[in-house]
Structure 1
Amino acid sequence: MDWYIAVLKKYAQFNGRSRRKEFWFFTLISALVSLALGVADSVLGLPTFGDGYGLLAALYSLFIVIPNIAVIVRRLHDQDRTGWWALIMFVPIVGILVLIYFMVQDSKPGDNRFGPNPKQDNGSFTV
């Protein structure tokens, strides 16, 4: 749950780098929350919208759009790619597959133009 909260704390932070773990745990927990809210919408009989989203699930989806884009951009930065690569998701089928491929790749070792590698201890000590 810490990885999910960490992404929400960086709500609209598009600079820096994010680890695979941060991205995938955020994605997993977001999917589980969406599923739970969808069930709650059905049980409570809340109105649905065009694609079958209930009110709670739709509100959550709106809330999570910006953090989701931000963590995708930071994940791309971790591989020394510009965040503009996220736009590839709008290419039907192939774009999503390419983006998933990017998301499963490991970090580029060491520092890059987007900052230090979050996987490596940079020797800093905080109290």
Structure 2
Amino acid sequence: MDWFLHAVRHYAVWQGRARRREYWCFMGLYGLISVYLTVIDAVVGQAGSRGHGGGVALLSTLFALAMLPPAVGVAIRRLHDTGRSGWWLLLAAVPVLGTVALLVLALRRGTPGPNAHGPVPPAGPERM
């Protein structure tokens, strides 16, 4: 939970590095909350439309929009930790292969020691 809140508080920090733990804790909790809100939207949508479908996914959409800046920020810092520019995030625009490439980069170990994007980040979320 601390890593998730850390990423949310530092949503506009584009420089520096993010460890794998910071990235994956943020993305994991983001995914769980998204699924939970999608289920709530589906239940409320079904009840509101009397079983005809077509409900609006208001909660999950608002959450996704609110979490877009922190998600981009932590993804850029994760790429920095692997020694790459944040511009590599544009690989997400390439269907399937871009997503797979970013997944592989996010799973890789960060560069040991300082790199062009800063020193190795401390182990805890209290770092900035």
Q: What are the Cα deviations for residues 17-53 of structure 1, in whole angstroms up to 9, with x where unaligned? A: 00001101111100100111111212333632xxxxx
CA distance in 1 between counterparts of 2:44 and 2:123 reads 46
Distance in 2 (alpha carbons) for counterparts of 1:74 and 1:14: 6
Q: How many residues align?
A: 116
Name the SS of the counterpart of 2:98 in structure 1. Answer: helix
Gaps of at least 5 residues in structure 1 are 49-53, 122-127
Please tell me whether the aligned partners of residues 110 and 120 of structure 1 are also in contact (alpha carbons under 8 angstroms): no
What CA deviation, in whole Å up to 9, does each residue of 1:86-123 have, x standing for no partner? Answer: 101111111111100100000100111111101579xx
| Equivalent position of 2:43 in the other structure | 43
**Who is 1:23 aligned against?**
23
Distance 2:96 2:82 in 1: 22
Sequence identity percentage: 39
CA RMSD of aligned residues (A): 1.6
Pick 1 or 2: higher relative contact order, CA cutoff 8 A, min separation 6.
2
Q: State the distance in 2 between where 1:64 and 1:120 align.
A: 23
Contact 1:79–1:108, Cα closer than 8 Å, also in 2: yes
The correspondence of residues 95-110 of structure 1 with structure 2, limited to 5 A, is 95-110=98-113
AA paired with 1:8? V
Greater fraction of residues in helix: 2
Provide structure 2 residue ranges, at least 5 long, that are not aligned to the other structure.
Answer: 49-54
- Aligned AA for 1:97? V
Distance 2:105 2:4 in 1: 20
TM superposition outliers: structure 1 runs of 4+ over 2 Å: 42-47
- Give TM-score, length-normalised by structure 2: 0.85
